[in-house]
Amino acid sequence: MRLQEDQEQDLGSLLVRLLNAQAEPTLVDQLAQYQEEDPTREGGVYEASITALNSLGPGKQLAFRVDLDECTGCKACVTACHNLNGLAPAETWRDVGSVVAMGQQTSDHQTVTTACHHCEEPACLKGCPVQAYEKDAHTGIVKHLDDQCIGCSYCIWKCPYDVPKFNDTMGIVRKCDMCTGRLSAGEAPACVQGCPNEAISIQVVSVGEARSVKPLLPGSHIGIPSSDYTRPTTQYVSKRAWPAVQPADRSKIAPSEAHDPLALMLVLTQMSLGGMFYGGLVVGSSSSLVIYHLLWSGLSGGLGLLGATLHLGRPMYAFRAFLGWRTSWLSREIILLGGYVPLIWMTLGLYLLGYGSGVGHILYAFTGLLGLLAGWSSAMIYVDTQRPVWALFHTLGRFAGTAFGLGAIVHGAGRIGLLNDLWGMFFIGLGVVILGIKLRGEMRLKRLFSTKSSPQDSVQEALARTAYLLQGPLAGQFRLRIMLGAGGLAFSLLAGIATVVWGTFVGLSLFGVAGGALLAGEFMERHLYFTSEASFRMPGC
């Protein structure tokens, strides 16, 4: 009985202590009380941020200002942004990283907080196919229109700072809008309020100031995206003399996200384009071969478009993609492919109905031209992101190699199977040469990396990082790609020889094996095209 009374007394004492502790103000409560007591203290970033709207005028816009000397990397800004904007558990609109001095002369280290830079020329806005971004004419704030977004994620590739973030639950991209609602209500943005050292503030900057000659971060060298692409407005300031610096996570190289629905779409639509091209060589001389190519191109193009919808977070709104045709290569690709595939089936219908000799030829030529424009748009989608490994030479070579290599082999197999034509061997050999050159180029890119070399600029460094991935974390996938590609080419040659020696049935059976290996190899190549992309972001992103 006495033991029970002692336990009850101890429990009561514990509850009293817990209630007393709960009554004491937390650090967050103390900060809020401090701001409530004097929210307009002279010179404070809180007061400066909420009154910046009154200083706007023509040629001006709002921008973040970060005092690097005051940033300690505590991530209070990250927490405040996450909580006050109701973000998903893994979603962040503000990140914190660090930079370190290059070389061994000094051990300088500096934390860096970063969010949307509300650029003067936002790449996300120009690249969006559905116009889900707008730059406020009065404040200059770049806003994302959630209701308009289809979840294509192209803005993530277009932004060199890794600002937009994809929300898996909602199926859309979201980003920082400088807490526009809070500014309008006389409150500073969450990150400004949350920073205990007042390292972040909102200021008014002049639009049009040249930033191409000045890096975004003081002393930044390799590893920081160039500011001449989107002209970011964030200003990082410091009273210290900065040495040459680099991101502390510069050596952290990990594969990028795989976009397999896009990889499938690209391979299939490019094979369709190649089929249309080689089919055009026999228009007017062999209707059966033309029909064969139209059927191949229609099926592969249609399956490619179907696969592309799996990439969208909200595919039911894909019809909006025509809205951004003036500035977005993705919008242009969707429009062109959306017209190209149905026209293939219309052309096929004309040939099957016996009208191929007249209007069918004209429609075939127009459809082929539309397909070439669509293929060019597909390449420019990635070239326009300004990422070194997706530059025009690398991208166009890969895409054209897939189209004309696979197309030549499909054409050669069709000539042998339908016409028993020895010219089929020539086209098979042509396809093998094209795809062999393409395969050789991929292997050469892998060898660009050398641990003994020191890249002198961000372009060389980005290519070296890609090569490192191909011989490191992605080495197994790269070997599989080489084996599939080389095996498919070998079986293609064997199939051609077997057709002459053992007959059409044996040859076409081997062509089936070769085609499967080549398609799998091209799909793996396109998978690596996405996962091996390793351009730099802002520190910590």
Q: What value does the mean pLDDT take over residues 221-245?
A: 83
* pLDDT at residue 87 in the model: 92
Fold adopted by 31-118+175-181+190-247: Alpha-Beta Plaits (3.30.70)
Which is more confident, 452 or 302? 302
pLDDT above 90: percentage of residues in the chain: 55
Helix axes 504-531 and 475-502, enclosed angle (nearest 10): 160
pLDDT above 70: percentage of residues in the chain: 85
* pLDDT at residue 61 in the model: 92
Mind giving me the DSSP string for 20-83? HHHHS--HHHHHHHHHHHSTT-TT-HHHHHHHGGGG--TTEEEEEEEETTT-----HHHHHHHH
* pLDDT at residue 15 in the model: 65
How do residues 397-434 score in pLDDT, each as one tens digit? Answer: 999 999 999 999 899 888 887 887 778 888 988 999 99
pLDDT grade, residue 323 (50/70/90)?
A: very high
pLDDT grade, residue 252 (50/70/90)?
A: confident
Q: With a cut of 50, say whether residue 234 has pLDDT above it.
A: yes
Q: C-alpha angle with apex 142: 138 to 144, nearest 5 degrees?
A: 125
* pLDDT at residue 42 in the model: 42
Least confident segment among 4-8, 283-287, 477-481, 536-540: 4-8
How do residues 259-273 score in pLDDT, each as one tens digit? Answer: 999 999 999 999 999
pLDDT grade, residue 25 (50/70/90)?
A: low
Round to whole Å and give the CA distance between 487 and 522: 12
How do residues 74-100 score in pLDDT, each as one tens digit? Answer: 999 999 999 999 899 889 999 999 888
Q: What value does the mean pLDDT take over residues 125-140?
A: 95
Round to whole Å and give the CA distance between 26 and 32: 10
269, 299 Cβ separation under 8 angstroms: no
Nearest alpha carbon to residue 416 among 325, 292, 540, 310: 292
* pLDDT at residue 337 in the model: 96
What global pTM score does this model have? 0.86
How do residues 199-219 score in pLDDT, each as one tens digit? Answer: 999 999 888 764 545 778 876
Which is more confident, 59 or 452? 59
Q: What value does the mean pLDDT take over residues 122-137?
A: 96
106, 241 Cβ separation under 8 angstroms: no
Q: With a cut of 70, say whether residue 243 has pLDDT above it.
A: yes
Round to whole Å and give the CA distance between 416 and 495: 10
* pLDDT at residue 104 in the model: 57
Q: What value does the mean pLDDT take over residues 452-476?
A: 79
Q: With a cut of 60, say whether residue 493 has pLDDT above it.
A: yes
Exposed / middle / buried, residue 476 (Cβ in 10 Å: 0-12, 13-18, 19+): exposed
Round to whole Å and give the CA distance between 449 and 199: 39
Mind giving me the DSSP string for 77-128? HHHHHHHHTT--TT--SSEEEEEEESSSS---EEEEEE-----SS-HHHHH-
Round to whole Å and give the CA distance between 330 and 321: 8
* pLDDT at residue 74 in the model: 92
Q: Would you kindly state where each structural domain of the chain is located, as residue ranges? A: 31-118+175-181+190-247, 260-439+452-531
pLDDT grade, residue 132 (50/70/90)?
A: very high
Nearest alpha carbon to residue 99 among 85, 107, 109, 89: 109
Q: Is 260-439+452-531 assigned to CATH 1.10.3720.10?
A: no
* pLDDT at residue 382 in the model: 97
How do residues 181-198 score in pLDDT, each as one tens digit? Answer: 888 888 889 999 999 999
* Mean pLDDT, rounded, of the chain: 86
* pLDDT at residue 511 in the model: 79
Round to whole Å and give the CA distance between 201 and 237: 11
pLDDT grade, residue 56 (50/70/90)?
A: confident
Q: With a cut of 60, say whether residue 5 has pLDDT above it.
A: no
Q: What value does the mean pLDDT take over residues 350-375?
A: 90
Residue 66 backbone phi and psi in degrees, to 5: -120, 120
